Amino acid sequence: VLTDESPHFVGWGTGEADEDARLVRQLKSPDVLRRWEAAMGLLRHPLTPLTRRALRQALGDDDPEVGHAAAEVLAR
């Protein structure tokens, strides 16, 4: 998908006002997949102080894939 006008575009996030806060809470989930999804979900959002702080904490996650996802988001 190159643009939001592509027929395969499904949207950037849910559009919920509190989506960033929800993803930050999800970064603390006991489920590794949910933490990874939360980190990757923040990829399409402008970083805020709240999300930056949460992603920096996620760099030290017990699961290296979550830490890698957080690093990728912070690097972009």
Task: Write out pLDDT tens, residues 27-61.
Answer: 999 999 999 999 999 988 889 999 999 999 999 99
Q: Does the pLDDT at position 1 exceed 50?
A: no
pLDDT of residue 9: 47
Mean pLDDT, to the nearest integer, of 1-6?
53
Check: pTM over 0.85? Answer yes or no. Answer: no
Mean pLDDT of the chain: 85
Angle at which helix 49-58 crosses helix 19-26, to 10 degrees, equals 20
Q: Could you tell me if 1 and 11 are in contact, meaning their C-beta atoms sit under 8 angstroms apart?
A: no
